[in-house]
Amino acid sequence: MKYLLKPFNNGKINLKNRLILPPMATAKSYINGRINQDILDYYDEKSKGGYISLIIIEHSYISEDGKASKNQISIAEDSVIDDLKKLSDIIHKNGSKTVMQINHAGSRALKEGNNNLRGPSTDKDDIKEIVNNFRKAAIRVKQAGFDGVEIHSAHNYLLNQFLSPITNKRNDEYGGNIQGRIKIHLKVIKAVREAVGEEFPVLLRLGATDDNDEGLTLEDAVEAAISFEKAGVNMIDISGGMCGYLPHNSNEQGYFSKQSEEIKKAVKIPVMLTGGITTPDSAERLIAYGKADFIGVGRAILKDSLWAKSAIELP
């Protein structure tokens, strides 16, 4: 495991190996998005031993109108900070670093009781409020002791809805070409960066393909990633867009390796790849062949909490 075990430190991202647990919704937050013992126990189990360099906490809603599902974790108000600190403390005690993913579900938000549903056609006052809610959420993540924050723009949630030409039909400055469709992203990144400071890592999960001829092109995904790097993002986390995390041709480990490879060539910041990676050998090869700098292993670790230990201790 020469490549998987290699440390990484570029002055902004400092991790002991290349293995990451990507964000996966647990639906364990049963009361008002709060952290409870079930959530603490889950992340304690997954991070035990510190074999995984970075644990990315599942997407957490930045405002009630952006809540994607029942039992989703909240980062929407200051009252959640103390309990989230318990979560970051457990992961740190186990020897891993941890980042929290923040999200607005957009038109995929829960409809019940939601009188302020937002989508890619939302007005500019709403955009301003959404940007501010991302900013406030990022501050809470930092106050709760996490090692960074990840902005979610994948899996057909709000920022991804702006990114994709399938869902973004605007004819103002927030639509049209790729620079218009990422205008809201650049505002969010700027607001988050100003809020957390220059030294706090900011990651962005990019839905780099819609797996659809009418969707996001690879060229546009590369251009978006270059713009995000210039805006202050420290790592790009590659996943799917309108296709979610499972494209139709999902028969090889590393579903989005074509996208991650081209983006890695175009940016200087590290690139993370997830998608159906289930064996240490596959993770090793994807890094060795220049497909990505980091590998996210999700469902294999969900099924087997000792997967990382076994991979790291391979002879």
Q: Could you tell me if 120 and 176 are in contact, meaning their C-beta atoms sit under 8 angstroms apart?
A: no
End-to-end CA distance of the chain: 9
What's the CATH number where 92 sits?
A: 3.20.20.70
In whole angstroms, what is the distance from residue 209 CA to residue 218 CA?
Answer: 7
Q: Is the pLDDT of residue 249 over 80?
A: no
In whole angstroms, what is the distance from residue 144 CA to residue 142 CA?
Answer: 5
- The helix or strand, by DSSP H or E, that contains position 207, with its residue range, turns out to be strand 202-207
Average pLDDT estimate for 18-34: 97
Question: Is residue 3, in this structure, part of any structural domain at all?
Answer: no
Question: Is residue 232, in this structure, part of any structural domain at all?
Answer: yes
Tens digits of per-residue pLDDT, 174-187?
A: 999 999 999 999 99
3-state helix/strand/coil string of 140-187: HHHHCCCCCEEEEECCCCHHHHHHCCCCCCCCCCCCCCHHHHCHHHHH
Question: Is residue 158, in this structure, part of any structural domain at all?
Answer: yes
Average pLDDT estimate for 110-125: 91
Question: Is residue 2, in this structure, part of any structural domain at all?
Answer: no
Write the burial class of residue 264 (CB in 10 Å: 0-12 exposed, 13-18 middle, 19+ buried): buried
Residue 132's pLDDT is 98
1 vs 44, which has greater pLDDT?
44
Would you place residue 250 in the very low, low, confident or very high pLDDT band (cuts 50, 70, 90)? confident
State the residue range of the domain holding 59. 8-312
In percent, the amount of the chain with pLDDT more than 90 equals 94
Question: Is residue 191, in this structure, part of any structural domain at all?
Answer: yes
Phi/psi of residue 168, each to 5°?
A: -95, 105
Count up the domains in the chain and report the number. 1
Residue 101's pLDDT is 98
In whole angstroms, what is the distance from residue 165 CA to residue 168 CA?
Answer: 5
Question: Is residue 1, in this structure, part of any structural domain at all?
Answer: no
Tens digits of per-residue pLDDT, 197-233?
A: 999 999 999 999 999 999 999 999 999 999 999 999 9
Write the burial class of residue 274 (CB in 10 Å: 0-12 exposed, 13-18 middle, 19+ buried): buried
Q: Is the pLDDT of residue 315 over 70?
A: no
- The helix or strand, by DSSP H or E, that contains position 44, with its residue range, turns out to be helix 37-47
Active site residues: 157
